[in-house]
Amino acid sequence: MAEKNEFFQSETVQNFNKEIEKYYLGPLWNAIPDLMHKQPAPHAQAYLWKWETLYKKLMEAKDIFTPDRGGERRAIYLQNPGLTNRQPWGWASTTQTLYAAVQLILPGETAPSHRHTQSALRFIIEGQGAYSIVQGERIFMEEGDFLTTPQTLWHGHSHPGDKPMIWMDCLDIPTIYALGGTFFESYPEKIEQPSVPDNYSAMRYAGGMVRPISDRSSKIAPLGSFKWAQTLAALHGLSRFEPDPFDGYAVEYINPSNGLTANPTIAAWMQKLPNGFRSKAHRHTHSTIYQVFKGAGYTVINGEQFHWSKGDFFVVPNWAWHEHVVTSSEDAYLFSCSDLPIMEKFNLEREEAYEENQGHQQIVKEFVPLLP
Ligand code: GTQ
Ligand code: FE2
């Protein structure tokens, strides 16, 4: 090994490496250990954003920015600290593949209709009365609802209600950016006008496990919003049985016309972790962004303890050991989205259970969140 290092540091090699750089050429012998490491070594870090911080900054943004001043939406994104120095790669990246943000809309405001090649989803955190208009359908939003806007669909938001509304956005922005596939277009008018009845798709799918016979063939987004009451009912049904050792009681939002994930590139789950629940640790190729919808507890990620409570967001990077513990007397509900479909499409998804110590990591560090 010492001999190897000496060789790489020798003047002959160093000079040659420098020499070919001038021609925009590079030496593989220098790069291969970092380029092709044994297992995923993401630059994205495990991280947690407290709700207090997010909320305070959104409230400060209220007067500084309005959708009427351009810029499309009042959204503040979660920048992974491991990716900030990698602009433009890593820009607006919560994980290496996904972007997450909190978006605030005030009564009377309209965020203009547009469409793009990024797929989007929304999870409603607080408030009600605003709607998202997706392909001519006004979808009124309530806490706990999940909305999907797969790529290329027109969408805009407007708020005829009387209290501020906050939701989570998740888009595959870093992926589409890296792939060079970004297209964006503004709608010719400020906001699209309705062409179908309000909440059309949620009503068409109110039956749950049945689909309209006209939706037998695969459609991009036959169901635009998944109502909280239905998600909760599904979780209650599951809760009568044994929980999954890693994820408790978890359901995935699917496209009912084809059974695949509701967004082609982003998986979205709601999981219920009953009070006192302690999961076993595992790791997988895909990376996940969590939003704490209800309850409190902590997640151990590669030996680091992240305490969370209602409203917080946290990230589990690729291939990181993680396990969840609920400490609140009420059950915890975690919304999450991940790049699982991307990993699966590239045949990269692998999973491993933590075998030592009955499946539990040692806690070696406690994460200290930044507060406003
Ligand atoms: O609401 O359409 O957070 O296009 C980022 C890009 C939200 C949106 C974001 C978007 C949107
Ligand atoms: Fe958008």
Q: Among 317, 283, 278, 315, which Cα is nearest to 297's?
A: 278
pLDDT for residue 1: 52
Tokens 């030496």 — which residue? Answer: 27
Report whether residue 101 contacts ligand 1, using a CB cutoff of 6 Å.
yes
Q: What is the pLDDT of residue 181?
A: 97
Whether 177 and 275 share a structural domain: yes
One-letter amino acid at 85 equals N
Q: Which atom of ligand 1 is found nearest the CA of 155?
A: 2
Do 170 and 288 share a domain, yes or no?
Answer: yes
DSSP-derived 3-state class of residue 50: coil
Quick check: CB of 75 below 6 Å from ligand 1? yes
Q: How far is CA 35 from CA 39, 318, 345, in A?
A: 11, 16, 21
- Residues with Cβ within 8 Å of 297's Cβ and at least 6 positions away in sequence, in order, are 273, 307, 308, 324, 325, 326, 327, 328, 332
Q: Is the peptide bond before 88 cis (omega within 30 degrees of 0)?
A: yes
DSSP 152: T
- The CATH number of the domain holding residue 153 is 2.60.120.10
Do 211 and 285 share a domain, yes or no?
Answer: yes
Residue 371 within any structural domain of the chain: no
How many structural domains does the chain have?
Answer: 2
Indicate the helix (H) or strand (E) that contains 229. helix 228-238
Q: Same domain, yes or no, for 24 and 41?
A: no
Say which residues have a Cβ less than 8 Å from residue 368's Cβ, sequence separation at least 6.
none
Could you tell me if 25 and 78 lie in one domain? no
How confident is the prediction along the chain (372 residues), in pLDDT tens digits per residue?
567 788 888 999 999 999 999 999 999 998 898 899 999 999 999 999 999 999 999 999 998 998 888 789 999 999 999 998 777 788 999 999 999 999 999 999 999 999 999 999 999 999 999 999 999 999 999 999 999 999 999 999 999 999 999 999 999 999 999 999 999 999 999 999 999 999 999 999 998 889 999 999 999 999 999 999 999 999 999 999 999 999 999 999 999 999 999 999 999 999 999 999 999 999 999 999 999 999 999 999 999 999 999 999 999 999 999 999 999 999 999 999 999 999 999 999 999 999 999 999 999 999 999 999
List the Cα angle 126/118/174 in 5-degree steps: 90
- Domain for residue 51, yes or no? yes
- Please tell me if the CB atom of residue 172 comes closer than 6 angstroms to any atom of ligand 1: no
- In this structure, is residue 372 part of a structural domain? no
User: Does residue 211 contact residue 178 with C-beta atoms inside 8 Å?
Assistant: no
Which of 72, 113, 159 has most ligand 1 atoms within 8 Å of its beta carbon, as the pocket-test mutant? Answer: 72
Q: What is the DSSP track for 338-357?
A: E-HHHHHHTT---EEE--SG
Same structural domain for residues 89 and 195?
Answer: yes
Q: Are residues 279 and 299 in the same domain?
A: yes
pTM of the model: 0.97
Yes or no: say if 131 and 79 are a contact pair by the CB < 8 Å rule: no
For 202-226, the three-class secondary structure string (H helix, E strand, C coil) is HHHCCCCCCCCHHHCCCCCCCCCEE
Q: What's the token pair of residue 327?
A: 């400490």
Is residue 50 a part of any domain in this protein? yes
Same domain, yes or no, for 10 and 104?
Answer: no
Together in a domain, 9 and 67:
no
Ligand 1 pocket residue status of 132, Cβ below 6 Å:
no
Ligand 1 pocket, residue 73 CB under 6 Å:
yes
Q: Pick left, alpha or beta for residue 38 (phi over 0 → left; psi -120 to 50 → alpha; otherwise beta).
A: alpha
- Do residues 303 and 363 touch, judged by C-beta distance below 8 A? yes
Task: Please check whether residues 262 and 293 belong to one and the same domain.
Answer: yes
Q: Which ligand is nearest to the CA of 152?
A: 2
Instruction: Count Cα atoms within 13 angstroms, Cβ side, for 129.
Output: 14
User: Do 98 and 194 fall within a single domain?
Assistant: yes
Residue 271 lies in a domain: yes
Same domain for 14 and 92, yes or no, is no
Please report, as a single letter, which amino acid is at residue 214. Answer: S
Residue 24: which domain range? Answer: 2-31
Pocket test for ligand 1, best of 169, 266, 291 (most atoms within 8 A of CB): 169
Assigned domain for 206 exists: yes
Q: Say how many C-beta atoms besides its own lie within 10 A of residue 252's C-beta.
A: 14
